[in-house]
Amino acid sequence: MKLVETRSPVSFPVNVARLPQKGMAVVVDADAAQRAVLAEAHGLVSVERYKADLVVSKWKRNGVKVSGRVQARITQSCIVTLDPVEATIDEDVEGVYLPEDSKLARQGFNAAGEILLDADGPDSPETFTGDTIDAGALAEEFFGLAIDPYPRKTGAAVASSGDGDIEPEESEFQKKLRLISKKL
């Protein structure tokens, strides 16, 4: 089975072999067609604005660092009423890339070949093949992570079944816990 790699609608390939010493500024200001594809890809009603301001620079010996900010104005559907909910995204973007044959790229593995991760530490570097990375795709990842998965219109609440006086049945564990706490 061959995996089909989908290209980001805001793709911005950067040739890392030709990076200037001070880095390269990358600006992705999505047009209407790109915003429509972004909205569909992320399950949004619409994307009114999408802009990523990034700097791609050399990192360590052969690596590449992408840093900057992605800003967007989006409209989602409320999970309760399905009414439109507007939201603003303003996220920092940061990623490090290493060539796949780099020794640094393999440092996160132990002797058994398992990846060692620090949940509080920085993300592990991504690897790349050839001499090109996609700075736009990285910005789209941070955009996607910033989208509220459960947008709710102000004041929207889930309707009750009508009988507000009925309390949920107490479980056996809750009964035992209540009896123990009375004895204390």
pLDDT tens for each residue of the chain, 184 residues long: 444 457 899 999 999 888 998 999 999 999 999 999 999 999 999 999 999 999 999 988 888 999 999 999 999 999 888 999 999 999 999 999 998 876 655 555 555 555 555 666 566 778 888 889 999 999 999 999 999 999 988 876 766 555 555 556 667 777 777 777 776 6
pLDDT at residue 104, as a whole number: 58
Of 127, 130, 129, 107, whose CA–CA distance to 117 is shortest?
Answer: 107
Closest CA to 90 of 106, 71, 103, 104: 71
pTM across the whole model: 0.74
How high is the pLDDT of residue 1? 45
Q: Residue 143 carries which DSSP code? A: H
Instruction: Give the position of tokens 């067609």.
Output: 33
According to DSSP, the residues that pair with 98 across neighbouring strands are: 127
